[in-house]
Amino acid sequence: MAQTEQQEEDYGYNLFPERNSGKFQKGSIAESLFTFNHKCQVMLQFAMETSPYAKLLLGAMKSSGCAVYKDRHFSCEDCDGTVSGGFDATSSQIVLCQNNIHQQSHMNRVVTHELIHAFDHCRAHVDWFNNFKHLACSEIRAANLSGDCSFHNEVSRFNFGLKKHHQECVRGRALRSILAVRKVSREEAEKVVDEVFDTCFNDHAPFGRIPHDKKDAKFAYRDFENRDRYSANL
Ligand SMILES: [Zn+2]
């Protein structure tokens, strides 16, 4: 908590004289909205500049002709319940839930997860609304490749062997994501997820591997950066 307050001080709030003029009373709703939104923007910027997962996805989208711009393609908003983020295919915008994301590591994961949906949208012309398999596939890929299921994010990891655990985690998270956005029965969602699981679980684009931790992601990013060098030698 103390650390959070310290960080906020460093964000340069004293550069906003309105906060002292009474417009943003301490503890008022206006103040907390301002704070949440600003913090969300700062964490987003930090994720885009420092997370190897995010940097790789942003680079891959740019080279696929879908360059991502912070102000155009991201929106920090208050969300209902415990949702962390979403991808709005109609506007090609990623929503970040500023009231539910409080830590940089969480922001990094949400940005990565949603960028994987955006990447799928860019490369594959996904039919999010009519083709249930497309949605299931992208949720499997997002859970598999975003670090959502990496060791320290999963407390129950001791219940399974490591590899099996990762697959179970991906399957469970994909199911939960689908059930959160579509009115379908659990059985129906399970059936579709199982149908496409192997194909989508083994599709690691644009990472070329499952980035289990930040180190993996850094290697994947380095390979991505060097990709032209290899093809130039062919
Ligand atoms: Zn998702």
Question: Ligand 1 mean position to 87 CA, how many Å?
Answer: 7
Ligand 1 centroid to residue 231 C-alpha, Å: 33
| Res 30: pLDDT | 65
In this prediction, residue 118 carries a pLDDT of 96
Q: Which residues are marked as active site?
A: 114
pTM over 0.85: no
If you search the block for the tokens 């991505």, which residue do you land on? Answer: 224
The token pair that represents 227 in the structure block? 């990709």
How many angstroms separate the alpha carbon of residue 194 from the centre of ligand 1? 17
Q: How far is the CA of 215 from the centre of ligand 1 (A)?
A: 23
| Per-residue model confidence (pLDDT) at position 20 | 44
Walking along the chain (234 residues) 10 residues at a time, the average pLDDT comes out as: 36 38 55 81 98 97 96 94 90 94 96 97 86 95 93 55 83 94 93 97 96 92 85 55
Q: Which residues pair with 88 in a beta bridge?
A: 93
Centre of ligand 1 to C-alpha 204, Å, is 16
Amino acid 150: pLDDT: 82
Specify the pLDDT at position 130. 85
Ion ligand 1 neighbours, Cβ < 5 Å:
139, 142, 177
- pLDDT of res. 129: 83
Please give the pLDDT value at position 181. 86
Strand order in the sheet with 93-97: 74-77, 93-97, 85-88
Q: Quickly list H helices, the chain.
A: 2-10, 29-50, 52-63, 70-73, 104-124, 132-145, 162-181, 186-201, 214-225, 227-232
Residue 5's pLDDT is what? 35
What confidence score (pLDDT) does residue 128 get?
87
* Residues 74/97, Cβ–Cβ less than 8 Å: no
